Amino acid sequence: MYSKRFEKEAFKAAVKENVKTLYRKKIEEASKQQIFQAVSYAVKDIIMDDWFETQSKYEEENVKTVYYMSMEFLMGRALGNNLINMTAYTEVKEALDEMGIDLNVIEDEEPDAALGNGGLGRLAACFLDSLATLNYPAYGCGIRYRYGMFKQKIKDGYQVETPDNWLKEGNPFELRREEYAKEVRFGGNIRFEKNPETGRDEFIQENYESVLAIPYDMPIIGYGNHVVNTLRIWDAQAIVDFQLDSFDRGDYHKAVEQENLAKTIVEVLYPNDNHYAGKELRLKQQYFFISASLQELIAKYKRTNSDVRKLYEKVVIQMNDTHPTVAVPELMHLLIDQEGLTWEEAWNVTTKTCAYTNHTIMAEALEKWPIDLFSKLLPRIYQIVQEIDRRFVNEVRAKYPGNEEKVRKMAILWDGQVRMANMAIIAGFSVNGVAKLHTEILKNEQLKDFYEMMPEKFNNKTNGITQRRFLAHGNPLLADWVTDKIGDGWITDLAQISKLKPYAEDEKARKEFMDIKYQNKVRLAKYIKEHNGIDVDPRSIFDVQVKRLHEYKRQLLNILHVMYLYNQIKEHPEMSFYPRTFIFGAKAAAGYQRAKETIKLINSVADVVNNDRSINGKIKVVFIEDYRVSNAELIFAAADVSEQISTASKEASGTGNMKFMLNGAPTLGTMDGANVEIVEEVGIENAFIFGLSSEEVINYENNGGYNPTDIYFNDWELKRVIDQLMDGTYAKGDHEMYKNLYNSLLNTQCTDRADTYFILKDFRSYADAQKRVEEAYRDQDRWSKMAMLNTACSGKFTSDRTIEEYVKDIWKLEKVTVPSGQ
Ligand code: 26Q
């Protein structure tokens, strides 16, 4: 479709021209990074026309738009993905080839845009891709962090965090939009005044500090449809640049403070995944991007519409978890204090505009802000929260007279805290979970009282992933093979991938499929050799667990099982054992001790096992440093086994599970999150399921947990493995190194329950499932069928399906077509 514009010679000339104007160099003299920049600017230039066209069309047609508010957008690299969606990847590759440049090498020059932690941030990125591809008007709104997710180095087996200076070389795809800057105010006090002319109450913020929010736009390209949406991320700048005369006026201190405030607000992404830390700066970040985004959205609305009382007809705000929930009182504030609406009018608009997605049931992830912190930082917003709470509590008391228990559980303000989830549910017109099981648990456990009071708000939207990045771009061999077999319709309609099902019975097709998997394993083996210096055999089973490190995800269960296998092989060298490569990738939050200890343990086991000649390389353990979107694409393509082993009920959905499935790796997992629906689609015979069910887990939890010591004393092989945490086997004789992990499993020393995540309880059932994996893999006919059926049955898990459901049930958007610019 873009082929005309990718007239090869013109594109090549543009790249050369860019190298000249940017660097005063000839192409032969330019560095790889410089060529990356030059190519990207040439691509951006082509994007510009469609971007312009799309936005004019939206304005002309005055269409309803979704604003996806998120503290995180884990975009990864843009160049390759943009080319895929412009349907120009092959042509650009050829053009560069002719210039002696390898596109893959150039792509590797681009730093990941890692403005997110994990699942929640990557989901936001997949959603933007799907929205553009499905022709829906959408903005992503977030923060332009100077430093994204930290870079992980492994030193002596330990994680070391280093800053991610992703903007160092400049970001060729972004556009600074100074003209849309907005002021955001913090702190001070509120003066109350009756306006003598209008007779209305007015609330005036005084003695505040403020920053200027400046938007940067990044293009989000739809696949082959000329739609270009916008990811708008906000940078902060001091309102008055540091001025000498303010020094003279004695405001020197204030001037410096404003500079500092601006700099610190957008400095860095908080690297906590599924864990709340009540830091003032985090709340500042939240209010900063929400206030700027809402001011801009209202201004934009008013450019083409006259009555803000009807804002909800043209705007819907989706809040990605509670992190952007301050949007509720901020929207009330803008509508009342700036637009002059009454409380009732403003509440009517707000409750028809805002919707909330919940991503976790983990108690430690719930955002609760201390009232004194909240009210000092956001005095006017706090007044509004109080009024929302007051009115809601009245409603609860009217509906449940004498039942103060209900107030205790559902009020926004309680026990000196602002409970953000309660506010999101009370003000939102939609509350959704991210997989069937997760939504059921929300309704029946965590959010039971809210569900009883307002059942109509609750709905499920099972997550999805974009096949454009995770198959078309990440696994070109398989992508071409699929297209060869069933045509390229799957790229925008993944349901069509089910047409592969008959090929599972076709021996030749199975062989081709396995051959592609093998080549992808060779590609990953090369990456591992280059980055870890470890030789792995691509004929071994690639058993992969990549995701954030968290106790509930149970990387510890995986590595304990590796230790158990190693003991077995040492003891019974004659035992038949299919060679296995256990691959891990995971970042731990910087202050999360047990998580960091787990990384050290994995690396120590790797050290011991990989260097033990006596086991003939039957087991290899690899910890891939700095797991991120760009290397994830290589990893999913090369996986044989997808480890999805969270304690049942804890993983809201998971999305890595879907990426593995799409790439033909069967799931080894618990009945948790979206695994349940994966099994529904592919059949239980094409997955390896083990462990407690979510009901069983919840049952134990409601009855004070369980006692792991019974299991410990009755399973000597497991006991031996756990004892090895303390006997120095994997610690060069150090008996203290893993004591936190040991204690977390058995005891006593720590305040929380022993084995909170049921690792001992599920161990045997996991080991059995692993045995079934080995058995299945030995039978290559059977395995290739299973693998191919996983790909063939993955159609449900496209984020295109998820987005169509959000549109139909929540957002109510219309598709817009954009004519090609030529
Ligand atoms: C909160 C307060 C302060 C600092 C950080 C945070 C914070 C940051 C990130 C809290 C939570 C997160 C991330 C949560 C997350 O990624 N959840 C995952 O969301 C995925 C998409 O829905 C699901 O698939 C995963 O199951 C869920 O764990």
Q: Are residues 363 and 509 in the same domain?
A: no
- Report, as an integer, the average pLDDT of 333-342: 97
* Nearest atom in ligand 1 to 272's CA: 5
At 171 the pLDDT is 98
**322 CA distance to ligand 1 middle (Å):** 10
Q: Are residues 425 and 479 in the same domain?
A: no
Round the average pLDDT of the chain to a whole number and report it. Answer: 96
Choose the residue to mutate in 325, 357, 359, 657 for probing ligand 1, maximizing ligand atoms within 8 Å of C-beta: 359
Written as one letter, the residue type at 274 is N
Dump pLDDT digits (tens) for 363-373: 899 999 999 99
- Report, as an integer, the average pLDDT of 485-489: 98
Residue nearest to atom 8 of ligand 1 (CA): 273
Residues lining ligand 1, CB < 6 A? 117-120, 123, 270, 272-274, 276-277, 282, 359-360, 365, 367, 434, 463, 651-655, 673
- Report, as an integer, the average pLDDT of 803-809: 99
Question: Which of 529-533, 684-688, 719-723 bottoms out in mean pLDDT, i.e. has the lowest?
Answer: 529-533
**142 CA distance to ligand 1 middle (Å):** 15
Taking a C-beta distance cutoff of 8 angstroms, is the pair 807, 463 a contact? no
The pLDDT of residue 243 is above 60: no
Residue 557 in any domain: the answer is yes
CB atoms within 10 A of CB 183: 13
- Report, as an integer, the average pLDDT of 615-631: 98
The domain in which residue 332 lies consists of 62-77+112-429
Residue nearest to atom 2 of ligand 1 (CA): 276
The pLDDT of residue 65 is above 90: yes
Identify the three-state secondary structure at position 583.
strand
Q: Which of 413, 429, 445 is the last residue of a domain?
A: 429
Query: Residue 507 maps to which CATH number?
Result: 3.40.50.2000
- pLDDT-derived band at 536, boundaries 50, 70, 90: very high
At 532 the pLDDT is 86
Written as one letter, the residue type at 317 is I
At 3 the pLDDT is 43
Tokens for 588? 């731990």
**276 CA distance to ligand 1 middle (Å):** 9
366 backbone dihedrals φ, ψ, rounded to 5°: -70, 130
Residue nearest to atom 4 of ligand 1 (CA): 276
Choose the residue to mutate in 117, 120, 655 for probing ligand 1, maximizing ligand atoms within 8 Å of C-beta: 120
At 5 the pLDDT is 56
The DSSP secondary structure of 25-57, one letter per residue, reads --GGG--HHHHHHHHHHHHHHHHHHHHHHHHHH
Tokens for 72? 């995180």
The verdict on ipTM greater than 0.90 is yes
Q: Are residues 425 and 518 in the same domain?
A: no
Per-residue three-class SS string for 493-542: CHHHHHHHHHHHHCHHHHHHHHHHHHHHHHHHHHHHHHHHCCCCCCCCEE
Tell me the C-alpha distance between 317 and 294, whole Å.
Answer: 9
Choose the residue to mutate in 321, 463, 552 for probing ligand 1, maximizing ligand atoms within 8 Å of C-beta: 321
Residue 459 in any domain: the answer is no
Q: Are residues 411 and 500 in the same domain?
A: no
**761 CA distance to ligand 1 middle (Å):** 26
**270 CA distance to ligand 1 middle (Å):** 11
- What is the percent of the chain where pLDDT is above 70? 97
Choose the residue to mutate in 70, 143, 274, 286 for probing ligand 1, maximizing ligand atoms within 8 Å of C-beta: 274
Residue 319 in any domain: the answer is yes
The pLDDT of residue 4 is above 70: no
Tell me the C-alpha distance between 291 and 393, whole Å.
Answer: 26
Tell me the C-alpha distance between 361 and 474, whole Å.
Answer: 31
The DSSP secondary structure of 271-284, one letter per residue, reads --SS-----HHHHH
Higher pLDDT, 784 or 243: 784
At 732 the pLDDT is 95
Taking a C-beta distance cutoff of 8 angstroms, is the pair 721, 760 a contact? no
Q: Which residues are catalytic?
A: 359, 547-548, 553, 655, 659
The pLDDT of residue 644 is above 70: yes
The pLDDT of residue 470 is above 90: yes
Identify the three-state secondary structure at position 346.
helix
Question: Which of 197-206, 214-223, 710-719 bottoms out in mean pLDDT, i.e. has the lowest?
Answer: 197-206
Q: Are residues 247 and 359 in the same domain?
A: yes
**360 CA distance to ligand 1 middle (Å):** 7
Taking a C-beta distance cutoff of 8 angstroms, is the pair 657, 678 a contact? yes
Q: Are residues 643 and 784 in the same domain?
A: yes
The pLDDT of residue 2 is above 50: no
Tell me the C-alpha distance between 116 and 514, whole Å.
Answer: 34
Residue nearest to atom 10 of ligand 1 (CA): 274
Q: Which of 371, 397, 429 is the last residue of a domain?
A: 429
- pLDDT-derived band at 1, boundaries 50, 70, 90: very low
**800 CA distance to ligand 1 middle (Å):** 21
Residue 51 in any domain: the answer is no
SS3 content of the chain, % helix, strand, coil (to 5): 55, 15, 30
What are the C-alpha distances in Å from 113 to residues 76, 660, 743? 5, 22, 38
- pLDDT-derived band at 199, boundaries 50, 70, 90: confident
Q: Are residues 424 and 490 in the same domain?
A: no
Q: Are residues 500 and 407 in the same domain?
A: no
- Report, as an integer, the average pLDDT of 648-673: 98
Helix axes 555-571, 593-610, angle to 10 degrees: 30
Residue 12 in any domain: the answer is no
Residue nearest to atom 19 of ligand 1 (CA): 120
Print burial letters for 312-349: b (CB count within 10 Å at least 16), e (below 16): bbbbbbbbbbbbbbbbbbbbbbbbbbebebeeeebbbb
**72 CA distance to ligand 1 middle (Å):** 9
**757 CA distance to ligand 1 middle (Å):** 18
Q: Are residues 420 and 503 in the same domain?
A: no
Q: Are residues 503 and 358 in the same domain?
A: no
CB atoms within 10 A of CB 593: 12
Residue nearest to atom 15 of ligand 1 (CA): 120
Structural domain count of the chain: 2
Residue nearest to atom 9 of ligand 1 (CA): 273
Written as one letter, the residue type at 64 is K
Q: Are residues 252 and 309 in the same domain?
A: yes
Residue 171 in any domain: the answer is yes
At 749 the pLDDT is 59
Taking a C-beta distance cutoff of 8 angstroms, is the pair 758, 706 a contact? yes
Q: Are residues 528 and 399 in the same domain?
A: no
718 backbone dihedrals φ, ψ, rounded to 5°: -70, -40
Choose the residue to mutate in 117, 126, 150 for probing ligand 1, maximizing ligand atoms within 8 Å of C-beta: 117
Dump pLDDT digits (tens) for 288-313: 999 999 999 999 999 999 999 999 99
Dump pLDDT digits (tens) for 136-174: 999 999 999 999 999 999 999 999 999 999 999 999 999
Residue nearest to atom 3 of ligand 1 (CA): 276
Residue nearest to atom 11 of ligand 1 (CA): 274
Q: What is the pTM of this model?
A: 0.98
* Nearest atom in ligand 1 to 274's CA: 11
Residue nearest to atom 1 of ligand 1 (CA): 276
Taking a C-beta distance cutoff of 8 angstroms, is the pair 730, 608 a contact? yes
Residue 394 in any domain: the answer is yes
At 760 the pLDDT is 98
Q: 155: which strand partners? A: 158
Dump pLDDT digits (tens) for 427-463: 999 999 999 999 999 999 999 999 999 999 999 999 9
* Nearest atom in ligand 1 to 282's CA: 3
**654 CA distance to ligand 1 middle (Å):** 11
Tell me the C-alpha distance between 678 and 684, whole Å.
Answer: 9
Residue 718 in any domain: the answer is no
**325 CA distance to ligand 1 middle (Å):** 14
